Amino acid sequence: MNRNIGKAAVKWLERAGYEVIVPNITELGRTQLSKGLVEKAKSLVATNISKLYSFAKQDIPILGLEPSEILTLRDEYLDLCDEESLVKAEKISMHTYQFEEFFAKTV
């Protein structure tokens, strides 16, 4: 992704009064799923659920710019997580938005 797009999104959010928090996540597992690396994706899912749940449980929106990555968080995480993490994955799913969705919701 072009870094300028990400920077522009952060600027827009900050101008709108939001504090932007960038979690320490490098990949969500979409690439691994597209290559059939399901076990690797499941490992990323477990790690990312533990990182993102703290935001979702505080009702902090989780935004992304890449639609396929956001849809992975909302849909595939529910299928790929272990049973103990399902409630957390559902909470994350409910608080995850594509940037455009969030923008439309707040305007």
Phi, psi of 96, deg, nearest 5: -105, 130
pLDDT tens-digit profile of 23-35? 999 899 999 999 9
pTM of structure: 0.91
106: confidence class by pLDDT, cuts 50, 70, 90: confident
Angstrom distance (rounded) from CA 35 to CA 58: 34
Instruction: Give the DSSP H or E segment for 11.
Output: helix 3-15
**Which positions ≥6 away from 15 have C-beta within 8 Å?**
none
Angstrom distance (rounded) from CA 92 to CA 65: 16
The answer to whether the CB of 78 falls within 8 A of the CB of 42 is no
DSSP secondary structure letter of residue 14: H
Q: Is the predicted pLDDT of residue 1 greater than 70, yes or no?
A: no
